Structure 1
Amino acid sequence: MLRTLTDCPPSTFNPLLAARDICQSVWFSGLLYEPLVLELFNGSLVPWLAKSWEILDNGTRYVFHLDERAKWSDGKPVTAHDVEVTWNLTWTYALPSALIGVPDKVRAVDTRTGE
């Protein structure tokens, strides 16, 4: 159960639709959906859905290795294909973000690896 006090109650929990309202996009999506890595207040990154990652080609290519413990609410594993589809849907609908740039492409290399 999620209980929170807010002056902007969500009209939806779908981040693709909620992103039209910045309050919903940042606040509720951040509470409900897990990132590949988590940035701490000091700027350091810690593994989250990704157990490890590599930064290659002078920082222009990132390879993420998903943690095998990452599961959906129904118990099915989170796959690199899930990450690829979610990321590409997000950019197809041009959701705004000051936190990330636009990658050339995101693709699943295998079930546990994406780049």
Structure 2
Amino acid sequence: MPRWMMEEMRNLKSLMMLLKPLLAEPKRGIIRILSDGVKGTNEIYQALQERGLEMPRSTLYYHLSALEDAGIIEMAGYREEGGGAPEKLWKLKTRKIGIDLVTGEIFRE
């Protein structure tokens, strides 16, 4: 296999490694929920339950953290209601991920 093709295969593999976990539930569901705009953790949790994705809240926090670490979502602030602990608000940071066919670089928008 030519050297240039091997490099492109490595870039494609890197892109697939980034995308694979994002395409599985519940991360995909979280991304879709946030596509409408800023949502609180409780709103995300309830929307996932409405979609039939039952999970402990700790699991939701794990997936939110993983998406934040990947640069897909970011915290947009806090909502303070009812005198309890403030609720985190989330929004999409990245709406598109792709690969530049000329340079082979992975980009995010």
Tell whether the structures are fold-level matches, with TM greater than 0.5.
Answer: no
Q: Which has the higher helix share?
A: 2
TM-score by length of 2: 0.29
TM-score by length of 1: 0.28
Decide which structure has the larger Cα Rg and report it.
2
